[in-house]
Structure 1
Amino acid sequence: MKSNQDASQERWPRRNRMWLATAGTLVAYVLFLQVAFGIPTLVRELAATGILPLAAALALLVMTYVVRCWRVADYFPRETRGRFRRLLRLTLVHNLLNIMLPLRSGEASFPLLMRSEFGMPLARATAALLFMRLLDLHALLAAAGIGLVIGKGGEWWTVVAWLAFLLAPVPLFALKDAILKMAGRLPERPRVLVDEMGRGMPVNAMAFLRAWGATLMNWGVKVAVLAWVLRLMDVAPLSASFGGALGGELSSVLPVHAPGGVGTYAAGIVAGTLSFGAAASPGALEVISKAAVNAHLLILISALLGTGMAILIAPSKDGA
């Protein structure tokens, strides 16, 4: 009995090493922020943006989770019909895991949760997730492209280029059968990836348009909110605020995501603001760095609020 207990105690750190790494990284990050800026200073500067703007930003960010949930419900109407609360809880839990676990490992929770909650095959949920992530990446870049248009003074050619990029998924989806057929000539590994993506695509044009529209709404709102918050924190010009929003979100979408996004999210914001025209003087960099940390804090708070919602809306055993 004792040997079994000792073995279980030895296995516990191994089983929970990812969460232990996440907790350790968060503690180290808090200590770094205290040394670099001072936690009270960051809190004061966040509060200086105003209670109403912060509350509005948090409400809009949480709303984007509901939009994501609707997209999944519309994607799998037969499996999720009448169980929106259960699906919303799944979406909110998946979002928190995505933020808190490193290197996008939280993504693996989506097909696992879909299988446990709705009996969906792992291959189908994984293929759909892959296609939705491609839509997410396109919509994120399109939303941030607004900053480029603003940075160029709204010149006609920038508007045309942005619209062409924005609408690019429509003709690509119309040509999907031809593209998938051509992909059959690829080497095995990329061909398998393309085949998986094809199986995860919407069943028809109307389903695609709904998924695409929900994706654009989700990322358009999120990038606009983050750009607005960064602008309230004195990140200038406005195009740099959009660049910062893009940089932060790209850091969470790409496989360089640190546990909780600590360090990488703020670094992405700083890089994005500088790429979109922010000044690189020491004073400006200090302002941008503090704004980046506080914008990341806002994202974490919205995720935690979402998790609280997931607990509150948890259905009964037989409920929807």
Structure 2
Amino acid sequence: MKQWVARHRAALLSATVVSAYLIFLQWMFGWNTILSQWKDVGAWAIVFAICLMMGSYLLRAWRIHDYFPTETRGHFGRLFRLTQLHNLLNIMLPFRSGEIGFPVLMRAEFGVSIARSTSALLVMRLLDLHALLAAGGVGVVLAFAHNPLGWIGWFIFLFLPAAGFAFRRRAIGLAHAFAPQRARYLVSELEAGLPENAGRFLRAWCTTLLNWFAKLAMLAAILMMLGVAPPSAAVGGALGGELSSVLPFHAPAGVGTYPAAITAGALAFGSPATSTALETLGRAGINLHLLVIVSSLAGTLFSLAGARRRNHTGETDR
């Protein structure tokens, strides 16, 4: 029994936290009150949002496929299943511990070494963070900047990854020269994870930008439909929630941290701090969080169902 608990302690911790969270929401708001927001949105809008989230998952899988074309060629279905399991682990486990699953799964499924997949994941996460901040920067410029300097600064920030890749050898050399001894291993890992050529980097960079800009726009639109206003506050809420899921301090399943980050981001971007607005923000943040979890579960089930069909028919992933 003790061995079983030790082996499944992360899953048990997540299940306990999620269960406590569900009970707390029932006590604090009541599920009828929380879910009543969806009545104004409509079933078709919910289905459309889940489909858009699935499209985002497919785009992520394609980015990894393009990163490892030799190993994953002809096996996109398996890769999609891997990325969905990795995404679900990231959502359910605390402190980004689910990231460990990616190199382990890549080695098991495609024979990619732990070092290479970890390095590539580090680069992709840096691209994710940059794209997320760039997408949020649009809202900052629109909400607070009333002169061309804001847009100039935003465009400079937008093209930083391209400049970094163009001068990567010089930048890596400087980082090795000036970084502390303990940080040099991280610099070497970052260098090993860079795309092999400019074309592959350009595709990874553009795919990341497209994915995050579209996802944030969709999440902001849902927050607006759930009553969050003004539009800049909806953008800030979407940005806050996604930042909480990218940075390494979210709770198991994002319980509490994701809705709280939505509220904080919305307030920072102009949402009124009245009791009515805060209550609307709280319920909207919870509902958006539920949508993200349901979409992730749906994507995982879809990928697993596809794997079963291929196993029964004896087909390969193409």
Normalising by structure 2, report the TM-score: 0.95
Question: Once the 2 structures are TM-superposed, how far is the Cα of residue 49 of structure 1 from its aligned partner?
Answer: 1.0
* Whole-Å separation in 2 of the counterparts to 1:269 and 1:296: 9
Answer yes or no: is 1:276 the counterpart of 2:269.
yes
Match of 2:89 in 1: 97
* Whole-Å separation in 1 of the counterparts to 2:40 and 2:9: 38
Q: Secondary structure at the match of 2:95?
A: helix
Q: Secondary structure at the match of 1:256?
A: coil
Answer yes or no: is 1:286 the counterpart of 2:283.
no
* Whole-Å separation in 2 of the counterparts to 1:150 and 1:231: 17
Answer yes or no: is 1:228 the counterpart of 2:225.
no
* Whole-Å separation in 2 of the counterparts to 1:162 and 1:294: 31
* Whole-Å separation in 1 of the counterparts to 2:40 and 2:145: 30
The partner residue of 2:185 within 189, 192, 203 is: 192
Please, which moves more after superposition, 162-171 or 63-72? 162-171
* Whole-Å separation in 1 of the counterparts to 2:168 and 2:233: 36
Contact between 1:26 and 1:260, CA under 8 Å: does it hold in 2?
Answer: yes
Contact between 2:251 and 2:257, CA under 8 Å: does it hold in 1?
Answer: yes
Match of 2:248 in 1: 255
Q: Counterpart of 1:200 in structure 2: which amino acid? A: G
For residues 15-54 of structure 1, what are the structure 2 equivalents within 5 Å?
Answer: 15-54=7-46
Question: Once the 2 structures are TM-superposed, how far is the Cα of residue 160 of structure 1 from its aligned partner?
Answer: 2.2
Question: Once the 2 structures are TM-superposed, how far is the Cα of residue 221 of structure 1 from its aligned partner?
Answer: 1.3
Question: Once the 2 structures are TM-superposed, how far is the Cα of residue 158 of structure 1 from its aligned partner?
Answer: 2.4
Match of 1:4 in 2: none
Contact between 2:136 and 2:235, CA under 8 Å: does it hold in 1?
Answer: yes
Match of 1:87 in 2: 79
Question: Once the 2 structures are TM-superposed, how far is the Cα of residue 152 of structure 1 from its aligned partner?
Answer: 3.2
Match of 1:238 in 2: 231
The partner residue of 1:135 within 115, 120, 127 is: 127
* Whole-Å separation in 1 of the counterparts to 2:40 and 2:278: 19
Partner deviation per Cα, 1:68-106 (whole Å, 9 max, x = no partner): 000000001011111111101101111111101111111
Which runs of 5 or more structure 1 residues have no equivalent in the other structure? 1-8
Displaced runs of 4 or more, over 3 A: 152-155
* Whole-Å separation in 2 of the counterparts to 1:198 and 1:156: 35
Aligned residues: 312
Percent identical pairs in the alignment equals 49
Contact between 2:120 and 2:194, CA under 8 Å: does it hold in 1?
Answer: yes
Q: Counterpart of 2:257 in structure 1: which amino acid? A: T
For residues 168-187 of structure 1, what are the structure 2 equivalents within 5 Å?
Answer: 168-185=160-177, 186-187=179-180
The partner residue of 1:74 within 49, 66, 79 is: 66
Question: Once the 2 structures are TM-superposed, how far is the Cα of residue 157 of structure 1 from its aligned partner?
Answer: 2.7
Contact between 2:74 and 2:316, CA under 8 Å: does it hold in 1?
Answer: no
The partner residue of 1:303 within 296, 299, 305 is: 296
Match of 2:109 in 1: 117
* Whole-Å separation in 2 of the counterparts to 1:57 and 1:158: 31
* Whole-Å separation in 2 of the counterparts to 1:152 and 1:266: 24
Match of 2:3 in 1: 11
Which runs of 5 or more structure 2 residues have no equivalent in the other structure? none
Partner deviation per Cα, 1:203-248 (whole Å, 9 max, x = no partner): 1111110000110111111111110001111111111111111110
* Whole-Å separation in 2 of the counterparts to 1:87 and 1:313: 12
Partner deviation per Cα, 1:251-281 (whole Å, 9 max, x = no partner): 1111111111110000110110011111111
* Whole-Å separation in 1 of the counterparts to 2:229 and 2:137: 16
Question: Once the 2 structures are TM-superposed, how far is the Cα of residue 319 of structure 1 from its aligned partner?
Answer: 2.7
Normalising by structure 1, report the TM-score: 0.95
Question: Once the 2 structures are TM-superposed, how far is the Cα of residue 147 of structure 1 from its aligned partner?
Answer: 1.4
Contact between 1:26 and 1:262, CA under 8 Å: does it hold in 2?
Answer: yes
Question: Once the 2 structures are TM-superposed, how far is the Cα of residue 154 of structure 1 from its aligned partner?
Answer: 6.3
Kindly report the root-mean-square deviation, in angstroms, between the aligned alpha carbons of the 2 structures: 1.3
Please, which moves more after superposition, 242-251 or 310-319? 310-319
Q: Counterpart of 1:141 in structure 2: which amino acid? A: L
